[in-house]
Amino acid sequence: MRFRTTLAMGGVLLLLCTAYLGLRYYQLKQIGDKIQAKRVFHFMPEDVTELTIARIGEAPSSAVRDTAGWRITQPVPTIIPFPYMWDRVCTGLAALLNERAIKKPDREANPYGLEQPALTVRFSVRGQTGPVELRFGDMTPTQTYRYAQMNAGDIFLVHKDAFFELDRSLELLRSRFLVDDRESPILKLEFARIAQGTETGVNPPAKGTESVAVILERETPQSLWRLTSPVQSGADQELAEKLVAAVQNGTGRDFIDTPTALSDYGLDPPGARVTVVDAKGARRQTIYFGNTDTTGKKEGMFVRRDDNPAVFLVDSTILGDFPKQPDAFRERRLFTASVADVRKIQYTGPADAFSLVRKAGETWQMDPPDPEGTDAVAVSAFLGAIKSATAVYFLEGTPAQYGLEAPELRVTLDAGEKHPVSEIRLAPYRDNDQYYVATQDAGQVTLVPRASAESLMAERTQFRTRILMRFPKSDAVQLVFSLDGQSYTIEKAHDIWSIKEPAGKTLANQSDVEALLTTLSPLAAESLENEKNDTPDTYGLNTPVFSAEVTTQNPTDPDGPKKHGPVRIGAPASDNSQQRFASSAARTGVFRVGHATVDAARELLRSIQ
The residue-averaged pLDDT of 366-389 equals 88
What number of other Cβ atoms are within 10 A of residue 540's Cβ? 16
Q: Determine contact, residues 544/533, Cβ cutoff 8 Å.
A: no
Backbone angles phi, psi at 201, to 5 degrees: 105, -170
Sign of the torsion angle spanned by Cα atoms 396, 397, 403, 404: positive
Nearest to 80 by CA among 68, 97, 96: 68
Q: How far apart are CA 354 and CA 373, in angstroms?
A: 14
Per-domain residue ranges of the chain: 1-30, 45-173, 186-321, 339-460, 467-605
The amino acid that residue 329 corresponds to is: F
Nearest to 452 by CA among 540, 336, 334: 334
- Beta-bridge partner residues of 55: 119
Q: What pLDDT score was predicted for residue 237?
A: 93
d(CA 94, CA 35): 13
Q: Any residues with CB less than 8 A from the CB of 75 and at least 6 apart, and which?
A: 59, 60, 61, 170, 257
Quickly count: other Cβ atoms within 10 Å of residue 550's Cβ.
25
Q: Look at residue 109 in the predicted model and tell me its pLDDT.
A: 47
- Model confidence at 467, pLDDT cuts 50, 70, 90, reads confident
The CB density around residue 68, as the number of other CB atoms within 10 Å, is 6
Distance CA 125, CA 38 (A): 20
Q: How far apart are CA 255 and CA 302, in angstroms?
A: 10
CB atoms within 10 A of CB 159: 14
pLDDT of residue 268 exceeding 90: yes
Q: Which pTM does this prediction carry?
A: 0.71
At residue 29, the pLDDT reads 47
Which residues, 6+ apart, have CB-to-CB distance to 4 below 8 Å? none
Could you tell me which of 324, 332, 331 has the C-alpha nearest to residue 191?
A: 324
Q: Is the pLDDT of residue 567 over 90?
A: yes
Query: Which tens digits make up the pLDDT trace of 470-479?
Result: 899 999 999 9
Fold adopted by 467-605: Immunoglobulin-like (2.60.40)
Model pLDDT for residues 306-332, shown as the tens digit of each residue = 999 999 999 999 999 999 999 999 999
Contacts for 395 with CB less than 8 Å, ≥ 6 apart? 402, 437, 445, 446, 447
Is residue 186 a contact partner of residue 275, using CB atoms and an 8 Å limit? no
Question: Could you tell me which residue, 363 or 235, shows the higher pLDDT?
Answer: 235
The whole-number pLDDT of residue 3 equals 63
